[in-house]
Amino acid sequence: MKAIIEAEQDTDNEKPVKSSRKSRRRRHRKAPEHDPDDSGGQFSDGDSELIFRELQSDIKQNLMALPDSVSPRIKEGLVAAHRKLSDYYTKFDESPFYLWASLLDPRISFIGLKQDYKDDEELLSSLNKSKEDLHDYYTRYYANAVPQQTSIELSSTSTNLNSLSGSPQKRSFTTRYKKARVSGVRNHMCSLMQ
């Protein structure tokens, strides 16, 4: 039990890399008024943080309720689980990729997050900034990237040379889908950015 209290104090004293009033406020806000099951499975990153806190609280209560006869290994395991949740919880705001994954996930989407954040200007502004950052990242690293020639395309080229020497021509039926897949990704990203 003492280890859990120390772990919570360590977590409370740590400052996230992006130390901001917004991060601290989101961590201590009330549970959402909507039931996540009623929103089509849409969760915001704030909801995830609330779930982490609830899990930590449950682990702490379960550990306190254990009789003294319970194996020390079980208690140590519960303390380790609590510490792992604490460690992950403090790192949640450090990377943009968690929110970007939510923006791109069709079950959540930008529109779903925007709906969740409609009553909080600060979170809504942060969401719009994150969307712009995602667009910039995509444009910088992926939008203009030339697809590398794959081994299938290379073998297709050598097959064409073989057909000149009298061998029957072999065709890769997947080649035409690769081009569609690349443009499909671009179209998906463009639709997200509108």
* pLDDT of the chain, 194 residues: tens digit per residue: 555 555 454 544 443 333 333 443 343 344 444 444 444 445 555 566 667 777 778 888 888 888 989 899 988 988 888 788 777 666 656 788 878 888 888 888 888 888 888 888 988 898 899 899 999 999 999 888 877 766 655 555 555 554 455 555 666 655 554 554 455 556 666 666 66
Residue 142 lies in a domain: no
| DSSP conformation letters of 90-101 | HHTTS-THHHHH
Is the domain of 74 the same as that of 157? no
Torsion of CA 133, 137, 138, 141, to 10 degrees: 170
Is the domain of 87 the same as that of 11? yes
Residue 100 lies in a domain: no
Write down which residue in 94, 109, 137 finishes a domain.
94
Write down which residue in 65, 94, 123 finishes a domain.
94
Residue 119 lies in a domain: no
Residue 99 lies in a domain: no
Angstrom CA distances, 20 to 34, 93, 131, stand at 26, 10, 19
pTM: 0.39
Q: Domains in the chain: how many in total?
A: 2
Residue 111 lies in a domain: no
